[in-house]
Amino acid sequence: MKLTNYSFAFILMLLFAVGCGGNPSASGTVKFPDGTPMGSGIIIFESETLQAIGTIQENGSYSVSSGETRGIPNGTYNVFFSGFGPDYAPPDMGPGGNPIGPPKLIRNVELIIPDKYLSPHTSGLVCEVKGRTVFNITVEHR
């Protein structure tokens, strides 16, 4: 079978498209044991060299980004978050898309998750990002 230049180019493009699945990414949901979505908050994936942040949506879904780049590099990340009532706003973002300081209090509402989830050292959540990773999380109520 003889390959024409067009056939060869088509096969090459197909192989390139299959091999390059886009930037690695992490997304998923944060829900309580009864299936209720957390509904708001921020989620942070942290490695020794990088912090990636995402906003937890009303339906509990999230996706994280590092800096201006959508997605995050492959690697192992400690995961932690702040599940706040709707009266908290995410922290300001600094250079490279890293959060600066804690979430901002708009009105005084209670934290809806246990304190252990507020730190990468105590959350107990670790995610291995390999390509497009879905990391669904179930948390307890406070």
| pLDDT at position 122 | 94
| pLDDT at position 74 | 94
**Whether pLDDT at 107 is above 60:** no
The domain segmentation of the chain, as residue ranges, is 23-138
β-strand pairing of 88-89 with 104-105: antiparallel
| pLDDT at position 89 | 62
The architecture in CATH of the region 23-138 reads Sandwich (2.60)
Mean pLDDT, rounded, for 98-120: 71
How far is 38 from 48, CA to CA, in rounded Å? Answer: 27
4-58 tens-digit pLDDT: 544 444 443 433 333 344 578 999 999 999 999 988 888 999 999 888 989 899 8
Determine what percent of the chain is predicted with pLDDT higher than 90.
Answer: 37
Could you give the C-alpha distances from 131 to 65, 78, 135, in angstroms and in order?
14, 17, 12
**Whether pLDDT at 129 is above 90:** yes
Please give the single-letter amino acid code of residue 17. A
Question: 23 by DSSP, 3-state: which?
Answer: coil
How far is 11 from 15, CA to CA, in rounded Å? Answer: 6
